[in-house]
Structure 1
């Protein structure tokens, strides 16, 4: 048996029975100073003393077992990981808290559950009463949400970066390498090893070397080179955009800087005018566009959601990326489609079906609770190094548009866009969905009846 230090728990049991240290020590057959050391965690609880405690205090000695605390330690650790500065809390401290003060640990869990419930209710009510006229949220958004709000507020279109990217001209991977070396003195090298699996690119500003993992295909490498080119050649423009964005935290500014550099990369490889004309000519056929511009399926979907130049705009798309667990890592909207921040997403949405049919483009006519109807297409995408058992990432991406514009897409062929019965009834997430009779409901709705 390992040494058990649970003095606070023993002290609580003693006080509940209104016993002094001297009285309990006498009953246990030990000295008051020995009991005092046990309660202060200066000495462990031995098996004979545990058995005597069980008999005297009429409790199961298993309440002092460490095994029953493992789940509680994990739960408290998960909660604290969401708080800023929690990285200074060690596992040993959490273990000591749970083992000695399990009541306090459970109270922390209860407080966190109540906070989440109230936060979800507040965001739900705000969504109902938001007039889309710039109302300030009562809850401070996360850095990621703040960046998404900034992009969506601009209809996911950053004209300044698009114009700068068009000035680069038609570009290839080799041309990008040459441009980085000629104008910025940056050498692009291919790296191997475990460290390269942790990031898409690594830039050494001292040596002026851009390292790219060898697992990337040429299109992915070109994208990363273009993103670094944007950070170097257009640092002033990006800084100006960040100042105008008036983001609230350094984390949000860093996230926005990354998003803007990626926007520039997409605009460089898929120049606005040429890309939009090609999209219209192919009826927005994503595979054809990916082949024509040398990029991946996801990159084309993302770029299509940015085609909102005044006077020369493309279809207003919404773009989403999720993983198998339902975590939404990207959501961009060039129109008024509302992505819920609470309650997850709807399991009836075609995007989740894509994981079971890798490689296929799936289609769905979906109707929201407010009556709006959309055409969605979805496909699974994967990235990462090749090889057996090599770590990789798997996502599903979806692109959607209002049903009134769906006839312009090649993916509408063979679908009856005007048949109401052809639409699947979906929602924004169980907790904020009005459909009380949904067969896939996982949680009761928090909306008032």
Structure 2
């Protein structure tokens, strides 16, 4: 006789997940397809978490819910369903009922399927790394300092707890606005702020001997505020940043110096947009960037970037991806708290709306896109122009993109412009690793593919993929 299945009482994990996502019990219950009283009973451990609820959690919150029931029998079912229904694999999917029967009747075969699927995903991740190396021309050479720092921030989830909390405390002690930052620099650190020439490439310069900070004239208020905050946190959080750098594992002096700059940038953003206040405001306005930037006196890009850093344990914001793309299609900033992993170097998929946004400054474009694995994302992109301050210097033109999974569309104001469940644009990470066989925008074949040439047939792409 089979042993009775262990009943799963992990309501506290479900409650913590709901709070991290800033969802009410009514919202969470609706997403899971259960009643509010039933959800309340589960959270209070009055009722166990059933297979049906676990499956609903896996569908609605695939990243966040991974720890719930991780040791239960249902976790094997979830992994097997994931492997059997992965839409990035060009073969018929297996429905849930057949997966259940297969797991019961052929458990070794099911485990083998899961192992192969996980190996496939690892190979895709390795292929992305190779794609990055190919684009950078670095081959097997050691990563460049900026690559090391970028990867370090990604590994940290783009959230640095000690610095973020210190910035939140400092924000309460500093008067709001540019005047408050200048006053704190002068009174606490003896640093006077001077106006400089606005026609060159230098935005600011700190003279430690004279104790002066010169900021280029003509900068918009939000840029001036960020430069003031950047200088202030370098003095206020010197010890915290040194400790983070020492623990980072980065050995090269250039990498450590670059990390120091990156941490100061992070801290400046955290100071201007304190975690709890910014997260609460973002939720209230459904992540409307224009309303957030006006409320906190920051730029459009700064507000987008800050939203992608709200990953405090137990108090996480909506999981976003964020990136910045230049006129040539190069991704110059990127971070993802979602399953989306776009190319770290070079350009992104040409079908992604961010490329169109570069050419249309100060206009917000919205897109529903679908990755090869079937995950759908709502993307918002806006082209931006930063004046140079001089006719002899070209302005900087680029676009920023912010997005989340379609499951969070109700909390993302830009999704209102899209039809729920409507047709999505099929995109990929980059041509070299995208498995789509019928893309008219493909620049070159995917790595490892077999191409066929038919000289008597003319198509948009001059080869067939097999």
Same-fold call, TM cutoff 0.5? yes
Q: Which SS does the other structure have where 1:308 is aligned?
A: coil
| Residue of structure 1 in register with 2:206 after alignment | 203
CA–CA distance in 2 between the matches of 1:365 and 1:234?
41
CA–CA distance in 2 between the matches of 1:171 and 1:251?
34
| Residue of structure 2 in register with 1:275 after alignment | 278
| Residue of structure 1 in register with 2:53 after alignment | none
Q: Which SS does the other structure have where 1:246 is aligned?
A: coil
Q: CA deviation at 1:448?
A: 3.9
| Counterparts in 2 of 1:269 and 1:443: CA distance versus 1, 3 Å | same
| Counterparts in 2 of 1:323 and 1:129: CA distance versus 1, 3 Å | closer
Q: Which SS does the other structure have where 2:432 is aligned?
A: helix
| Counterparts in 2 of 1:173 and 1:447: CA distance versus 1, 3 Å | farther
1:241 to 240, 244, 258: 244
CA–CA distance in 2 between the matches of 1:342 and 1:385?
26
Segments of 4+ moved more than 4 angstroms: 386-390
| Residue of structure 1 in register with 2:442 after alignment | 441
Q: Is the 8 A contact 2:330 2:345 kept in 1?
A: no
Q: CA deviation at 1:329?
A: 1.0
| Residue of structure 2 in register with 1:126 after alignment | 126
1:188 aligns with 2:189: no
Residues 40-76 of structure 1 deviation map (CA, whole Å, 9 limit, x = unaligned): xxxxxxxxxxxxxxxxxxxxxxxxxxxxxxxxxxxxx
Residues 169-204 of structure 1 deviation map (CA, whole Å, 9 limit, x = unaligned): 25310111111111111111110154xx22332111
Q: Is the 8 A contact 1:342 1:432 kept in 2?
A: no
CA–CA distance in 1 between the matches of 2:393 and 2:347?
30
| Counterparts in 2 of 1:307 and 1:129: CA distance versus 1, 3 Å | closer
| Residue of structure 2 in register with 1:85 after alignment | none
Residues 214-268 of structure 1 deviation map (CA, whole Å, 9 limit, x = unaligned): 1211111111111111111111110111111111422221221111101111111
Q: Is the 8 A contact 1:289 1:300 kept in 2?
A: yes
* Structure ranking higher in helix proportion: 1
CA–CA distance in 1 between the matches of 2:346 and 2:439?
15
Q: CA deviation at 1:378?
A: 0.2
2:168 to 144, 166, 171: 166
| Residue of structure 2 in register with 1:152 after alignment | 154
* Greater gyration radius: 1
2:343 to 308, 329, 340: 340
Q: Please give the root-mean-square deviation of Cα atoms over the aligned residues, in Å.
A: 2.3
CA–CA distance in 1 between the matches of 2:302 and 2:251?
29
TM-score by length of 1: 0.67
Matches within 5 A, 1:358-369: 358-369=361-372
| Residue of structure 1 in register with 2:334 after alignment | 331
| Counterparts in 2 of 1:124 and 1:235: CA distance versus 1, 3 Å | same
Q: Which SS does the other structure have where 1:277 is aligned?
A: helix
2:406 to 403, 408, 413: 403
| Residue of structure 1 in register with 2:316 after alignment | 313
| Residue of structure 1 in register with 2:112 after alignment | none
1:263 aligns with 2:269: no
| Counterparts in 2 of 1:423 and 1:244: CA distance versus 1, 3 Å | same
Q: Which SS does the other structure have where 2:218 is aligned?
A: coil
Q: CA deviation at 1:343?
A: 6.0
Q: Is the 8 A contact 1:431 1:443 kept in 2?
A: yes
Q: Is the 8 A contact 1:433 1:447 kept in 2?
A: no
Q: Is the 8 A contact 1:143 1:251 kept in 2?
A: yes
| Counterparts in 2 of 1:340 and 1:129: CA distance versus 1, 3 Å | closer
| Residue of structure 2 in register with 1:30 after alignment | none
Unaligned runs of 5+ residues in structure 1 are 1-122, 131-136
Q: Is the 8 A contact 1:343 1:431 kept in 2?
A: no
Matches within 5 A, 1:65-80: none
| Counterparts in 2 of 1:273 and 1:192: CA distance versus 1, 3 Å | same
| Residue of structure 1 in register with 2:73 after alignment | none
Q: CA deviation at 1:357?
A: 2.1
Q: Is the 8 A contact 2:376 2:405 kept in 1?
A: yes
TM-score by length of 2: 0.65
Q: Which SS does the other structure have where 1:332 is aligned?
A: strand
Q: Is the 8 A contact 1:321 1:330 kept in 2?
A: yes
| Counterparts in 2 of 1:342 and 1:159: CA distance versus 1, 3 Å | closer
Q: Which SS does the other structure have where 1:212 is aligned?
A: strand
| Counterparts in 2 of 1:186 and 1:447: CA distance versus 1, 3 Å | farther
Unaligned runs of 5+ residues in structure 2 are 1-122, 131-138, 451-466
| Residue of structure 2 in register with 1:175 after alignment | 180
Q: CA deviation at 1:446?
A: 1.5
| Residue of structure 2 in register with 1:219 after alignment | 222
Residues 13-36 of structure 1 deviation map (CA, whole Å, 9 limit, x = unaligned): xxxxxxxxxxxxxxxxxxxxxxxx
| Residue of structure 1 in register with 2:119 after alignment | none
| Counterparts in 2 of 1:125 and 1:335: CA distance versus 1, 3 Å | closer
Residues 139-179 of structure 1 deviation map (CA, whole Å, 9 limit, x = unaligned): 53222221121111121111111111111225310111111
